[in-house]
Structure formats: C-alpha cells, structure tokens
Structure 1
C-alpha cells in the first residue's frame, strides 16, 4: 500500500491518476475532505502538523510518496523541515519500507529558502535507515497555468532571469517517474534530477505562449532589486524577498538550464515539451492569463 501525500497538488493529482490507471493499491492523504472526495480514491484526512493523524494514515502502508507541507515561512522559520521530518519518523515507526521524496534541484547545505530546507530533509531521510529515492525537479510548467508564473493584471509575463534558460518539466512527467520508483525496485538510494527536454528563456516562454494563444504576450524582465521591491510591496518579509531575488540571479546564470534523461530512463518515454504542455492545457492557460495583453 502506497501513501500519497500532497495528493491534491500539481504532482500528486497526476500520481493519483497514474496509480488508479495501473490499479496500484494506494491511499491519499488530504487536509480537506471535500478535496479527497473529488479525487475519487481511498483517502484519509490528516495534517503534517498533527502527528496522530499522520500515524493513523500510515497504518498498512509500506511505501510513501513524500511531498508538500510548509506554508510560506515567517523570518527564521522553515515549517516544511519540521513537518517532513515528522512524516519520515512516523513512516519509520510504522514499518514503511521505502520513501520517494520530492525535493528541489540544487538542494544544498545553507541554501536559500527551499534549497536549504530540502537539504536538511534529505539528510534526515538518508539517516533514517529507510530505503529512499529523491526526485529533484526543474521549474514546473504548471506554474504558468496556476498563477505562479507571474503574469501581470494586463497579461504580461514578469521575471528576473534575464537570458537565463530553465528546463521546465511537466508535473505529470515527475509523477510518472515517482510511480516507477514507488512500484518497482529501481533507484534505491539514488537522487534524480528531473527536467523537460529543452531549456527556454522567459522570452522564449512568452513566444510559445503567444503562439498557442494566437495573440502577443510580452515578457518584462526585472532586475533582482526590482523583483525584491515588488515582493516587498506585496507584503512579503524583506528577508524572503531578498532570498527570492538572489535565487533569480542564480537562475539567470544558468543554474536550471541543463537537461537530463531521467524521464526517458524511468518512464520509458521522452518528457513533454513546453508547447505540448501548453496545447494540452489551453483552457487553464486562458483562465490564468488575461486577454488584454498587447
């Protein structure tokens, strides 16, 4: 039995559908009963901050998909670290045999924001004594249809990556890789970087969105300082805004530009291109992007 955490998120929903399709026994962990009902699968209501609910969710489980947890932190806080450590410890106590964790590319000691937080969690997982595999994805294609792609009210794409390219990956491809690791003997004790088939600059992203929508979408490149100021204006803590700004400099220098063969190697097929993703999610793209651009 597999327990899927983050089951209603961008990766989790695809993983649920994949496991349903393959008739693999699993249970989804959700915080909202209505969302659990909408999944149409066996589910349990629980919360990473409620240790009793996590222990209950682990009953009969031998494999765990570890994702999600952690709202945007206040200064000095990393709730995701505490939460995922709790889940790992509960899995060990319940006799879970293997964990497949979603991390972040370039997780490292002392890293900013998620890079540092996931490094701490990865270390805890490695030291847990459990069998494990880690998936470190590049940027999500889904960000451009969920509102996280930074479109302005008048339909322009904002960013601070300059000419830096990102090998965006479809969350369905990440989920398919996770399904292979959860249901087979592959990848124990291994970390996999998961990318799409090509790296695109934000200007190229805007061009492909324009092609699919058949109307112009402009990309506006901000400086890191302008990005930090914009985030502060939205009420985000100054330290958080500065960290996001610093990470944008790393992306601009090419930190997310490489591509890997992970999807082909694990899922046995090529990863989806950005144009294919946009075409398949055209309605969601239209809903996310105002029509007044240009």
Structure 2
C-alpha cells in the first residue's frame, strides 16, 4: 500500500487523484488529521486513516501495512521539524520500506529561509535507516497566481525578485511526479530537483497578465523590507509575509530556477506553463458576483 500524509491538503488531494489513475483505490491510504475532510475519498474506496503530525500516537497505526509513504512537508513553518521527526520515526516502527519527502528545490544550497527545515528533515531521513527519495519541489505557479486579482486592482504586481528567473510549475505537475515516483521501482537514494520547463521574470509575468486581461499591469520591484511591509499591510501575518519576501529575494539570486527538466521527464509531458494558468484565474474573477 501507498500512504499520503496531509492527504486533505491541496497537494495531497492531487497526489491521490494521480495515484487513482494508476492503482486500485484499496491500495491507497489517505492519512489525514481530520478524516471528515476526505469522506468523498472513502466513498471511492480509498483507505482513510487518522494521522496527526502533532499526535505521534496516531501515526504508527496509520502507517501499519504501508510499503511506501509520501511525507508531504507540514504547512506549519517553524514547527515542521518535530512533526516530520514524528512521522519518520513512526514509519520506521511500522516497517515502511520507502519514504518520499517533498523537500525544496536545491535544499542543500538554497539561500531561502524556507530551506532550513527541509535540510534538517533530509538529515533526519539519512539518519533514520529507512530508505528514502527526495522530491525537491520548486515553486508552485499558484503562489504567484494568487497575486493576480490584486495586481489587476492596482495595476501593479509587486515583489523583490528583480530580474530573477522563476521556473515554477503547476501544483498538479508536482503531484503527478510524486505519483510517478511512488509507483516506480528502485527509487531509494534518488534526489529529484523538480521545476518547470520554462522560466520567467516577474516583469514578464506582469506583462502576460496585462496581455491576457487587457488591463495595464506592470511589475514594481521593491526592497525586501518594503515588500514584507506591503504584505503585512495587505493583512498577511508578519512571519508569513517575511517568508514570502525572503523567497522573492532568493529568487533574485536564482533560488527558484532550475533547467534540468527532471519534472517533465518524470511525468512524461511538458510542465504546465504559468501563462496557461492565468486564463482560469481571469475567468474566475469575471464570474464572481458583483458586490
């Protein structure tokens, strides 16, 4: 059996859907904090098991009988390491034969603050004795697409990435790669640097939003501190705003770029260009009821 942690999350659900195209539902385990959130998967025959990163006692039972486990990194930045340690230790006790971990692009050399917990988790895996494979995911295009409505409202996309190239891909592309690795043989010890086939600068992204929307949108580059302050002013928590600003500043140093094409090679097709994802965002905005 193959188990997916965080299976009710955005990436986890997409991985489950990708696996359902390859395996019978009875061979898939959705390990989740709140089983009610995946009741629809249960009706399709997926095994639902309670697994809370913050309740280690739930984890070993959830992983019993599991051959391969996808550890999707926790969304609780700053608390990830103890949570990941609990998962890895429970998987070891349960006899899991392979852990696939969603790390960060070039985690071992990345200047991003986000890399710290990923590097530490990779070290835990190396020390655990459980065979593992690293899925070092690059940036999700959705991270930038979330800024499109605000960019259209104010005519500007703001950031701190300068002219840095960003090789993002759709979240579904990364999910397909995870499913491919989980259903393949001889994956232990492999490290995949996963990113989109095509790269862009934020100025190019702003120009593409302007082209598709027919509205003026330009890129406004800000110092990291000013970008963070703008995000806080927009209502984001200070810690999260700091991580986003740090990531943009890292992008200016090439931290979100990779041209190895390992992602498209894994999924057997080109990755989804961000330009193709802008139209659905625009369509959703147009279909929103007027206030």
Report the TM-score range of the alignment, normalised by the length of the smaller protein.
0.7 to 0.9
**Which stretches in structure 2 are left out of the alignment for 5+ residues?**
none
What corresponds to 2:271 in structure 1? 271
Q: Distance in 2 between matches of 1:9 and 1:209?
A: 27
Could you tell me whether the CA contact under 8 Å between 1:153 and 1:290 is conserved in 2?
no
Q: Secondary structure at the match of 2:14?
A: helix
Q: Give the superposition deviation at 1:219.
A: 2.7
Q: Distance in 1 between matches of 2:152 and 2:276?
A: 25
Q: Give the superposition deviation at 1:59.
A: 1.8
What corresponds to 1:52 in structure 2? 57
What corresponds to 2:73 in structure 1? 68
Q: Distance in 2 between matches of 1:47 and 1:179?
A: 22
Q: Distance in 1 between matches of 2:173 and 2:4?
A: 16
Q: Give the superposition deviation at 1:241.
A: 5.6
What corresponds to 1:75 in structure 2? none
Task: Pick closer, same or farther for the CA change 1:93–1:167 going to 2, 3 Å.
Answer: same
What corresponds to 1:248 in structure 2? 248
What corresponds to 1:154 in structure 2? 153
What corresponds to 1:31 in structure 2? 33
Per-residue Cα deviation, 1:84-128 (whole angstroms, up to 9, x for no partner): 111011000000000111001232389653201000000101111
Task: Pick closer, same or farther for the CA change 1:209–1:235 going to 2, 3 Å.
Answer: closer
Could you tell me whether the CA contact under 8 Å between 1:137 and 1:169 is conserved in 2?
no
Q: Distance in 2 between matches of 1:137 and 1:110?
A: 12
Q: How does 1:84-233 map to 2 (within 5 A)?
A: 84-108=84-108, 113-145=113-145, 147=146, 151=150, 154=153, 156-231=156-231, 233=233
Could you tell me whether the CA contact under 8 Å between 1:111 and 1:117 is conserved in 2?
no
Please list every run of at least 4 consecutive aligned residues from structure 1 whose deviation after the TM superposition is greater than 6 angstroms.
288-291
Q: TM-score scaled by structure 1?
A: 0.84
Could you tell me whether the CA contact under 8 Å between 1:108 and 1:119 is conserved in 2?
yes
Task: Pick closer, same or farther for the CA change 1:100–1:130 going to 2, 3 Å.
Answer: same
**Which stretches in structure 1 are left out of the alignment for 5+ residues?**
73-77
Task: Select between 212-221 and 160-169 the one with higher mean Cα deviation.
Answer: 212-221
Q: Secondary structure at the match of 1:126?
A: helix
Could you tell me whether the CA contact under 8 Å between 2:106 and 2:193 is conserved in 1?
no
- Structure with bigger helix share is 2
Q: Distance in 2 between matches of 1:247 and 1:168?
A: 13
What corresponds to 2:19 in structure 1? 19
Q: Distance in 1 between matches of 2:148 and 2:186?
A: 33
Q: Secondary structure at the match of 2:192?
A: strand
Task: Select between 93-102 and 200-209 the one with higher mean Cα deviation.
Answer: 200-209
- Give RMSD over aligned pairs: 2.8
